[in-house]
Amino acid sequence: MTYQIISTFDGSITNCSLSELSQRLKLNSILCELGADNSVTDSWPLVHETLVTFAVEFADYALKHYTKKKIPEAEVCITLTKQWLKNSDSVSAEELKVAADAAYANAAYAASNAAADAAYAASNAAYAAADAAYAAVAASAAANAAGKSKEAELIRQGGFIVEYLKNSSSK
């Protein structure tokens, strides 16, 4: 399956595969699923909260599946970011940044970096797409460090994105 990301800011179009999807998302864009004839079969808007959802999911999955020890700093980032997703007024940007900085201090673990990226994505909409992509890369690095396939993790992320968007649009 092929996907297209269309920027609502400048109209630019980026084509990508499922395994590239998590690293190519852009804020204020539309993700389109293309059929065999390259016609759009489905499309979904990508906003700040959606990108943060992806980043925190990648981090949480990496922490649960690719690390052997608890990383309290990463867990705090994930918890605060999920709290922010439920109510953006319940956690300040400063709280998210402090938690992210603490997780980055634990840089020996890619899952911790992914959690920090999720918190940074929540704290600043301007950088949400980049931080979501960083979280995706960090989660794939965590998979690699755990002896798993980076490519399989990127495909899992792409599948999660598409399924999440399909389920969200049917509600």
Indicate whether 171 pLDDT > 80: no
Q: 23-46: string of b/e by CB count within 10 Å (b at 16+)?
A: bbbbbebbbbbbeeeeeeeeebeb
* Separation between Cα atoms, residue 35 and residue 31, nearest integer Å: 13
In DSSP terms, 4 is beta-bridged to 15, 32
Average pLDDT, the chain: 91
Identify the pLDDT of residue 125: 87
Contact criterion met (CB below 8 Å) for 156 and 135: no
**Least confident segment among 16-20, 135-139, 167-171:** 167-171
Residues 133-157: what's their mean pLDDT? 92
* Separation between Cα atoms, residue 147 and residue 161, nearest integer Å: 24
Residues 9-30: what's their mean pLDDT? 94
pLDDT tens, 34-78?
999 999 999 999 999 999 999 999 999 998 999 888 888 889 999
